[in-house]
Amino acid sequence: MTGCEGTRLSVLQEYNQQKTALFSYEIIDNASVTEKGMKIFKAQLDDNLKRLNLVDEAADKVIEVICTHYYMRHEASRALLGAMAGSDNITSMVLIKDKETGDILAELKVVSKNPTILGSAQGLIKQQADKITDYIRGQKS
């Protein structure tokens, strides 16, 4: 990855990870994510959380993913025009909340960008879900 592309996570309020924590999650689309894009994101997030045994609908914590910006170039535009066609961009706010009280336990901002002709929209969407999962399971990188 070069410095201009990839996914970065900014911690606005640190989460004190508990090894036995389980979560339910919800996704709020405030960015008009395409149906295909949302399907990819939900599948990746769900697969990650289930594989790591972090998800349980009866959990006392909820992960709220709020999609705030979504733009993906058409594949032909990406190939022909590269950065001149703009930059693929996904931005999400992630809140980890106490399900009963609604108290915010953590707040994150996750930004994924790709101005190059390399990569794919699907790959960038999956990076977004992976970065969220990495943070929740305790990898703070």
Sign of the Cα pseudo-torsion (35, 36, 40, 41, in order): negative
Question: What are 50-83's pLDDT values in tens digits?
Answer: 999 999 989 999 999 999 999 987 665 555 555 5
Question: What are 69-127's pLDDT values in tens digits?
Answer: 999 876 655 555 555 566 789 999 999 999 999 999 999 999 998 867 667 789 899 99
- CATH 3.10.450 holds for 6-14+22-136: no
Query: Whole-model pTM?
Result: 0.86
Domain ranges for the chain: 6-14+22-136
For residue 47, the model assigns a pLDDT of 97
Q: Is the pLDDT of residue 44 over 80?
A: yes
For residue 114, the model assigns a pLDDT of 82
